[in-house]
Each structure stands twice: as C-alpha cells, then as structure tokens.
Amino acid sequence: MEDKVDEYLYLVGQEHDIGCCFYLKKGFHKPRSLVSLNRIAFKVKQIEKDLTHLSEKKNRWVTQINNGDTNNSNYIVRRAQDQANMAHSLDDEDLVGVDENRGKLEKWLADDDLGRSVIALLGMGGLGKTALAANVYKEREKFQCHAWVSISQTYSREDVLRNIIKELMKDKVSGLSYAAAMDITCLEETLKRFLGQQKYLIVLYDVWTPESFDDLSRVLTHNEKGSRLIITTREARVAAHASQGHVLTMEALLADKAWDLFCNKAFSRDTDHECPMELKPLSEEIVRKCKGLPLVIVLVGSLLRVREKTVEEWRRINVHMSWELINNSSLSDIRNVLYLSFIYLPTRLKGCFLYCSLFPEDYLFKRKQLVRLCIAEGL
C-alpha cells in the first residue's frame, strides 16, 4: 500500500511540474500518467479486497485466542510450536516398527467390502502417523480419485471442501477454476455429485474433534464402490467416534528399534552405520531421552550427523537436551528437539525460520515469494 501511495504522489508531482504547455504541444491525447493512475486505483482496490480477506481470517483467529485460557503471546508461541511439529514427517526409510500396522492398513484398503469404510491412525505427535498414511497412500492409483487434506484446529469448512475438490479434480483444469468461485452450498453439491459414482480414497490429516469429522463426513458420499477414508488424530475420542472400531494405535519404538534408527541417521555417512565406542555412552543417553518417538530420533540423528564426531561436541548437545527437558516443562518431547535443532541453525537462517511461523497453519506459499519477503524484511 505504501508503494502505491508513493507512486501516486510521484505522478501527481509530475503533473504539476509539466504544466499546461506540455499538453498544448502534444495535443489532447490521454496522458500516460492517467493510465498509470488508473492502474494504481485498480491495485488499491485489490489491496482493499486482500485486507478484507485478512480481516476475516483475523477475526477467526482472535476468537480462538480470546476463548483460550492463556494470554495472546503464549497462544501465538504455542501455535508456532504446533506448526513446526506438524511440518515434519518421516521418510519411508525412517518408518520402522510399524510393520504390523502397515500390514493391517494395506489389507483394509484392499478389502472387498463395497461400503465406505473409515480407519483411524491414533497416536501422539511424532509416532509416525503421517508417514504411515503417506506410505500406503502410494496405493491410491487403485482408486478412481483421491485426496489428501489437512484439518487444522481452526479450519474453515469451506476451504477444506474446496481443497478436497481441487485434489480430486487436479487433472481437470475446468474443475479447478470452477472450485475457486463456488460458495459453500455449491461446493457441497459438487462434491456429493462427483463422489457418488467414484471409488475414492481420502486422507483427512490431523482431525481434532468428533464434530469436525462429522462436519466433513456428511459430504463424503456413502456409496457402494469400496471407497476408503483414512484419518489421523491425536484424540482417542475422535478415533473411536469416526472409525466404528477400525483404529490403529501407534506405539513408541522398542529400545533396539530406536537404537537402530538413531544409528542409521546419525552415522549414515559411515559405511557400517556403527556408533564409535567413545560415543556410545552419550549416544545411548540421547536415545533414551527421545522416548521411542521416531520423529524425535530422526531429528536428533540428523542434527548429530552434521556435527563433529567428538565426545565434547556430543556432550554439549546432550546438555542442551537435558536443560530443555528440565527447565521447559511447557514443551513436549518433540518440541524440545525442534528447539534444539533451531538453536543449531546458522544465524542467517534463524530469522527466516521464525518468519515462517507468522503464516497461518497449513498456509501454502511459493518458495520465490518467501525469498522475496525475507529479503524485504532484511533477513
């Protein structure tokens, strides 16, 4: 907005400097500056539209803050930490100790039951729910259409339905353009009509309440085509409510599995992936602090992989982990490690990382756009 105001003042100043003689010489053709002023007016209208949209978003977020039991700053910090948590998932090679659940999930997907069936992946953050869902989602080509959609705690039903339609119709350009202009009623009717004759697979990632599941489930047609719906959740009541008994509970890794995963990450550059004897006591202590959470182990292992393989360096990192566990009781196990990863980021990247936390949950932005924003902020 400031840029447009500056441009406007510049053009107005030009008009005064030019005077009437200029127009007598050039005739009464439409001055180029008037075209520029029209363009500025159009840009201002676009900015006003964007501000209205942001205001609506702000009202939804402020409502959540005011209804909470903490002050605004604590809420924002907690939201930023949650965003960091949800932004991480495990690669296929890090998916260990879940063979039984993966087998059950694959069997359920291939079942001959023609009714729409729902299965829930239940567990705290960091246990690999997302990675497991993503692993079996590779079988989506067996379905006529498919979608993967994130459900945040403050989700907009209209936005989620629009995202589902975009995912389902990503190969149909006309469908994508129409979805952007649809209201909530049209979105519901379009989705019901489209799914009515389709064998579909839809993943609802991170469902927080039974009400939010019901809100979306009503639109996801109960056809007799063998459709499947996978949800991931941290809430047992959501899993029980949504799945009619089809619940896969994710468990922490056993000690030997946790150790193998840690060594595969921390010593991946070594041929044998073996921990040096002088680092083994510290490594075992670090793995114990990870409490069997695959995401935590992967994060710590990845951090240690690029650090010096010396007792002094690993002891220093271990001390940081101990301090966080003792003094920062408001953070969960995963957030401790995310914070540890943050403090070991190069200084030039810390500001950029924190800048990303200003965006709303599940917000998608382009890499080039983010780079320009960081440059504009002097980061």
Residue 91 has pLDDT above 70, yes or no: no
Q: Which CATH architecture has domain 98-249?
A: 3-Layer(aba) Sandwich (3.40)
pTM score? 0.59
Report pLDDT for 223: 81
Confidence of residue 6 (pLDDT cuts 50, 70, 90): low
Higher pLDDT, 132 or 11: 132
Give the pLDDT band of residue 109 (cuts 50, 70, 90): confident
How far apart are the C-alpha atoms of 270 and 72, rounded to whole Å?
47
Instruction: Give the pLDDT confidence score for residue 88 in this predicted structure.
Output: 42
- The mean pLDDT of 144-148, rounded to a whole number, is 87
Higher pLDDT, 263 or 18: 263
Per-residue model confidence (pLDDT) at position 74: 39
Edge-to-edge strand list for the sheet holding 117-122: 145-150, 200-205, 228-233, 117-122, 247-249
**Residue 256 confidence (pLDDT) above 70:** yes
Q: Are 229 and 118 in contact (CB under 8 A)?
A: yes
Domain residue ranges in the chain = 2-67, 98-249, 255-376
Residue 70 pLDDT: 38
Low-confidence winner among 27-41, 191-205, 252-266, 278-292 (lowest mean pLDDT) = 27-41
Q: DSSP letters of 9-34?
A: HHHHHHHHHH-HHHHHHH-SPPPHHH
What are the tens digits of pLDDT across the range 203-214?
A: 988 888 888 888
Task: Choose from 59-73, 99-113, 165-179 the range with maximum mean pLDDT.
Answer: 99-113
pLDDT of residue 42: 72
Task: Please check whether residue 179 is in contact with residue 166, taking contact to mean a CB–CB distance below 8 angstroms.
Answer: yes
Higher per-residue pLDDT: 46 or 190: 190
pLDDT tier at 80 (50, 70, 90 boundaries)? very low
